Chain A
Amino acid sequence: MSYLEYTVKSVPAGFRKILFLNWPLALLLASVCGIGFLMLYSVAGGSFSPWAEPQMKRFALGLALMITVALIPIWLWRNLSGVAYGVSLLLLIAVAFIGEERKGSQRWIDLGFIDLQPSELMKITLVMFLAAYYDWLPAKKVSRPFWVLLPVLIIILPTVFVLKQPDLGTSILLLTAGGGLMFLAGVHWAYFAAVLTSAIGLITAVFQTRGTDWQLLNDYQYRRIDTFLDPAADPLGAGYHITQSKIALGSGGWTGRGFMQGTQSRLNFLPEKHTDFIFTTLAEEFGFIGGISLLGLYALIIIFCVATAVRNKDRFSSLLTLGIALNFFLFFAVNMSMVMGMAPVVGVPLPLVSYGGSAMLVLLLAFGLVQSAHVHRPR
């Protein structure tokens, strides 16, 4: 049980709730963000602009947001989850029409003070909605076909719009997180086995249709898969990122070259050095020790989330916490696999470290929900 639970038995009220937050988890999140600031300072050549300073401001904003969300009772969030899902879905549809196009895909809505990426929001609200759904659904109905089909539709609908943007990375993340939540809720094994089999079938289909008029992916997406399968084939073109990032990583060695001493990742030829490929800078400058430390922090965050989730007697709370942890895991797992040449370059940022306001704010908001679940757990 929690470290404070033996002394206080009732659910705290008012601003006293702040004392009952999961402070170790908050501290872990802050340390990861701190590593992010350090790296952004380094890739800018030892300067707070243009990345580290705005990122710190957003972190302050995000922290306030997290605490605010945490103070609001979790049952209120549960009741709001349907609305939240609906709003994100509408935003996702809106972005297809009024969104801003950047680098060939339409993902952004300019809200004036921040550029919002509705697909980021959807990652969280999807988990919220599914958690609420399984909280409401009696356990014995969980594996009945109709009650399985419903959440599948809930997952597929936003995924289709995200895929249209086109954003392959996020759509895979949505599918996996949604599927993961269904698994946690106790849907029967057989469904997952069936889906896995058909996924293999689909992948075969994707490759079989290549080059025909009705090919299932864009040319650039096929090329990325090619690059993944054999980066050496085109080292100056498509495979350039991965080759460079592997060299940078590898040259870090055990202890790295030292803070701000990285050469490879700071050569200006790696255009995503402050976003998707920021891990290479960390690994080059702080070596294996640095990389494994970050991974360790991430692992601790996951462990803390799982621990608080399984002890929470409220079904919505534990499902939500586990779902958010899974989402967070998918973020860094996909990003790290990508920079280490184990997955295609799909454009997923390193959570809380990569430069970018939308992702950081949404993640801190999500951890606010985790905190709320923790604070308002039945005692």
Chain B
Amino acid sequence: MRRNRAENDASHAKLTRRAALLGGAQLLFMGGLAARMRYLQVDQADQFRLLAEENRINIRLIPPARGEIFDRNGMRLAQNVPSYRIVMVREDAGDVDLVMERLTQVIDLDPETYADALAEIKRSAPFLPVTIVDDVSWDTVSKVSVNAPALPGITPEVGLTRVYPRGSDFAHVVGRVGRVSQKDLDALEDPDQVLRIPRFQIGKINVEAREETKLRGTAGTKQVEVNATGRVMRELERREGQSGADLQLTIDAKLQGYVQARLSGESAAVVIIDCENGDLAAIASAPSYDPNLFIGGISSADYNPLLNSEYRPLVNKTVQGTYPPGSTFKMMTAMAALEEGLIGPDDTVYCPGHLEVADRKFHCWKRAGHGWVDLENSLKQSCDVYYYDLALKVGIEKISAMAKRFGLGIKHELALSSVAAGLTPTKAWKKAARDADWVIGDTVNASIGQGFMLASPLQLAVMSARIATGRAVTPRLIKSIDGIEQPIDAETPLGMNENNLRKMRRAMYEVVNNRRGTAYRSRIIADDMRMAGKTGTSQVRNITAAERARGVTRNADLPWERRDHALFVSFAPYENPRYAVSVLVEHGGGGSVAAAPIARDVILQAMAGGDPPLEAYPTGDRGRIKTQQRKLREIQPQAAIDGNDQA
């Protein structure tokens, strides 16, 4: 293995020779690098320094115009308006304090802005423009322009800013933009350079955020020659960017405005879905807030009330909030039993006012009991015991599976932030999430939409639309992007027995139109607009024995945050369903009192395309409705009522 000494020496000599050769070649190449460096930095320095400094060529990004957002009729929901700001480049200004002093003589600057701007100028790089004041009037711009010679380094700049002409009506749909934050940049894999432009706006929530890439567009570039004081001398080359795509929503702004006004004063949510194609005609969450406040950065005086209100205006209750669906869930329990063939629609169950299961007494809301009830009567009077009985026959797995087919417990894909999936519990779920075995009482609770069952108002509206049509109607929010119609998914049949569905619709009709139905007071009497629906009241908590002893028996006696949620789901017209609606009023009390009247008003508004004729209401209600219509017209902006585009 070991070589002899002579051979070793010979190969070492060869290695040394070649090492010297290679080393020499490397040094030669380094000499080349040095020569190139000298050529660029010494021989051509004047030329490059000229390029870089005296008349430096800057490549500037042209921010793309953000796509605008329209409602289904072309009304503007989000638009761009020009905004002016005054910027300063420190290295061009020379004596910053002197220039700022002069600036205050030309335009009004409050001391706080002045101090902030001065601090920011001294902190940032000398060649970067710093905004002194934002969103100034054209008058201010002209004053600065006229005094330009005395204000080196200061230039007015024009940009576009976002405005939401419908204000709070669309905060929970369109969302809002805001300045790009470090958090936004960190969330992106490879952030677009355009996001680094100071004060560039990025979608923060809802459609603005979810469709950000389409709305943003791509930046253009321009090559400009800038003189020693930083002023643009001329533009050398320009490559236009691509404006963002315009979006059209399925929402009817006029209807949305009405719904939002109708809900004022409540903590509530309404979803109106078009049964034919799944288009969301309105999704209103109340109270709302004005997204325009957020654009330039919101003050804490504006923000804290929003954050601390117990009505939670920042939460989108339509898709983000999930609630026990209460009795509105009974259709699912019934459908599961009907489809399994375990009961017929005319089979009766005796309701003595309670049902004993596993040594526990489960009460019907009516302590005296409903007697013998069939499907129609049980739904009409919202008998609980009937559904306890069905649930014990069918079992939780089939009930939850049925609910999923109707769109509960699944996350619907919408361009909104934090769309919740809700919950249709199963035995496996409880084992995994709660580490506890499913007990029969859980099934009993689930049968009337209590216990673990959770659904969002959006899901309840989808459920009603599916009951009304027998098809797997899927909600759609974006109607078109840059004029290209987005796909509709509302044609697939649910695959249920049509007879069972018909029975269910009939029972829901009876709930509203039968004298003994729980929503009879909210009926519509116009024949071509008849409504079918179901009330629901979901318990936030039980009334305790101690409270009962104190005489608290009714919801109204409890503090607001402990009252029941009121729910109502419906569709209309009964004969040929066009719209499905879900209404949720947080802590509103009973569904028949708090939610059903809202559903009637908004579904009539949707069907009539404006204020409905008073003849649609029962005679006794007309006087009150007339007053209400007048009042609602007053609190809505005129443009929203006329359907004109004020922009």
A contacts, CB < 8 Å to B? 45, 103, 138-140, 180, 183-186, 235-236, 240, 244, 246-254, 263-264, 266-269, 271, 283, 287-288, 291-292, 295, 298-299, 302-303, 306, 309-310, 313, 315, 318-319, 322, 326, 329, 333, 336-337, 340, 342
Q: Which residue of A lies closest to B3 (CB)?
A: A138
B382 to chain A, nearest CB (A): 56
- B45 A292 Cβ-Cβ under 8 A: no
- Contact A139:B127 (CB < 8 A) given known A246-B48, A322-B19, A340-B40: no
Those of B48-63 within 8 Å (CB) of chain A: 48-49, 51-53, 56-59, 61
A44 to chain B, nearest CB (A): 11
- A268 B11 Cβ-Cβ under 8 A: no
Q: Which residues of B have CB within 8 Å of A288?
A: 37-38, 41-42
Q: Which residues of A have CB within 8 Å of B23?
A: 302-303, 306
Those of B1-51 within 8 Å (CB) of chain A: 3, 7-8, 10-12, 14-16, 18-20, 22-23, 26-27, 29-30, 33-34, 36-38, 40-42, 44-45, 47-49, 51
- A236 B237 Cβ-Cβ under 8 A: yes
- A322 B37 Cβ-Cβ under 8 A: no
| With A139-B3, A236-B221, A246-B40 already in contact, 19 other A-B pairs whose C-beta atoms are closer than 8 Å | A45-B125, A139-B7, A139-B10, A236-B239, A240-B59, A244-B59, A247-B51, A249-B37, A249-B40, A251-B49, A271-B193, A298-B30, A299-B30, A302-B26, A302-B27, A306-B19, A310-B19, A337-B33, A340-B37
- A251 B53 Cβ-Cβ under 8 A: yes
In-complex Cβ contact of B22 among A183, A252, A271, A298 (8 A): A183
Q: Which residues of A have CB within 8 Å of B40?
A: 246, 249-250, 340
- B239 A250 Cβ-Cβ under 8 A: no
Q: Which residue of A lies closest to B193 (CB)?
A: A269
- B48 A250 Cβ-Cβ under 8 A: yes
Categorize the interface residue count of chain B.
Answer: 35 or more
Q: Which residue of A lies closest to B36 (CB)?
A: A340
Q: Which residues of B have CB within 8 Å of A283?
A: 37, 41
- A310 B30 Cβ-Cβ under 8 A: no
B contacts, CB < 8 Å to A? 3, 7-8, 10-12, 14-16, 18-20, 22-23, 26-27, 29-30, 33-34, 36-38, 40-42, 44-45, 47-49, 51-53, 56-59, 61, 125-127, 190, 193, 196, 221, 223, 237, 239
A306 to B40, CA, bound (A): 30
Name B's interface SS.
Answer: helix
Q: Which residues of A have CB within 8 Å of B19?
A: 184, 306, 309-310, 318, 322
In-complex Cβ contact of B125 among A266, A295, A318, A336 (8 A): A266
- Contact A295:B37 (CB < 8 A) given known A184-B22, A236-B59, A263-B52: yes
A-B contact count (CB 8 A): 141
19 CB contacts below 8 A, A to B, read A139-B7, A180-B22, A186-B18, A247-B57, A249-B48, A250-B47, A250-B49, A251-B51, A251-B53, A253-B49, A263-B127, A269-B193, A283-B37, A288-B38, A291-B37, A292-B34, A315-B8, A322-B22, A329-B29
- B18 A336 Cβ-Cβ under 8 A: no
Q: Which residue of A lies closest to B1 (CB)?
A: A136
A303 to B24, CA, bound (A): 10
Q: Which residue of A lies closest to B58 (CB)?
A: A267
- A251 B33 Cβ-Cβ under 8 A: no
- Greatest chain B CB density within 10 A among A185, A186, A313, A342 is at A186
Q: Which residue of A lies closest to B43 (CB)?
A: A250
Q: Which residue of A lies closest to B38 (CB)?
A: A288
**Sorted from nearest, which 9 A-B pairs have the closest CB atoms?**
A250-B48, A251-B52, A139-B11, A288-B41, A253-B45, A306-B23, A251-B49, A310-B16, A186-B14
B204 to chain A, nearest CB (A): 23
A260 to chain B, nearest CB (A): 9
A375 to B193, CA, bound (A): 50
B322 to chain A, nearest CB (A): 36
Q: Which residues of B have CB within 8 Å of A333?
A: 26, 29-30, 33
A247 to B54, CA, bound (A): 13
- B45 A252 Cβ-Cβ under 8 A: yes
- Contact A254:B48 (CB < 8 A) given known A138-B3, A336-B33: no
- Contact A247:B52 (CB < 8 A) given known A139-B3, A315-B12, A333-B33: yes
Q: Which residues of A have CB within 8 Å of B14?
A: 139, 186
- Contact A249:B26 (CB < 8 A) given known A139-B3, A183-B18, A315-B15: no
A146 to B602, CA, bound (A): 88
- Greatest chain A CB density within 10 A among B11, B12, B37, B239 is at B37
A295 to B57, CA, bound (A): 29
- B52 A250 Cβ-Cβ under 8 A: yes
Q: Which residue of A lies closest to B53 (CB)?
A: A251
In-complex Cβ contact of A250 among B10, B29, B44, B237 (8 A): B44
Q: Which residues of B have CB within 8 Å of A263?
A: 52-53, 56, 126-127
A236 to B239, CA, bound (A): 9
Q: Which residues of B have CB within 8 Å of A103?
A: 190
- B15 A310 Cβ-Cβ under 8 A: yes
A138 to chain B, nearest CB (A): 6
A299 to B29, CA, bound (A): 10
A297 to chain B, nearest CB (A): 11
- Contact A254:B239 (CB < 8 A) given known A138-B3, A184-B19, A269-B59: no
Q: Which residue of A lies closest to B197 (CB)?
A: A268
- A254 B42 Cβ-Cβ under 8 A: yes
Q: Which residue of A lies closest to B11 (CB)?
A: A139
- B3 A340 Cβ-Cβ under 8 A: no
Q: Which residue of A lies closest to B91 (CB)?
A: A263
A326 to B56, CA, bound (A): 39
In-complex Cβ contact of B41 among A140, A236, A291 (8 A): A291
A329 to B52, CA, bound (A): 31
Q: Which residues of B have CB within 8 Å of A287?
A: 41
A322 to B125, CA, bound (A): 44
- A295 B33 Cβ-Cβ under 8 A: yes
- Greatest chain B CB density within 10 A among A250, A287, A309, A342 is at A250
B37 to chain A, nearest CB (A): 5
B441 to chain A, nearest CB (A): 46
Q: Which residue of B lies closest to A250 (CB)?
A: B48
Q: Which residue of B lies closest to A240 (CB)?
A: B59
A45 to chain B, nearest CB (A): 6
Q: Which residue of A lies closest to B49 (CB)?
A: A251
Q: Which residue of B lies closest to A236 (CB)?
A: B221
- Contact A329:B15 (CB < 8 A) given known A250-B44, A340-B33: no
In-complex Cβ contact of A319 among B3, B15, B56, B58 (8 A): B15
Q: Which residue of A lies closest to B189 (CB)?
A: A102
Q: Which residue of A lies closest to B47 (CB)?
A: A250
A278 to chain B, nearest CB (A): 15
Q: Which residues of A have CB within 8 Å of B221?
A: 236
Q: Which residue of B lies closest to A337 (CB)?
A: B33
Q: Which residues of B have CB within 8 Å of A295?
A: 30, 33-34, 37
A271 to B190, CA, bound (A): 11
Q: Which residues of A have CB within 8 Å of B49?
A: 250-251, 253
Q: Which residues of B have CB within 8 Å of A252?
A: 41, 45
- Greatest chain B CB density within 10 A among A247, A254, A271, A318 is at A247
A253 to B49, CA, bound (A): 8
- A292 B37 Cβ-Cβ under 8 A: yes
Q: Which residues of B have CB within 8 Å of A310?
A: 15-16, 19-20
Q: Which residues of A have CB within 8 Å of B8?
A: 315
Q: Which residue of A lies closest to B57 (CB)?
A: A247
A153 to B42, CA, bound (A): 46
- Greatest chain A CB density within 10 A among B7, B44, B52 is at B52
A206 to chain B, nearest CB (A): 24
Q: Which residues of A have CB within 8 Å of B42?
A: 253-254, 288
- B48 A247 Cβ-Cβ under 8 A: yes
Q: Which residue of B lies closest to A299 (CB)?
A: B30
B241 to chain A, nearest CB (A): 12
A362 to B223, CA, bound (A): 41
- A253 B41 Cβ-Cβ under 8 A: yes
A140 to B196, CA, bound (A): 63
- B26 A186 Cβ-Cβ under 8 A: no
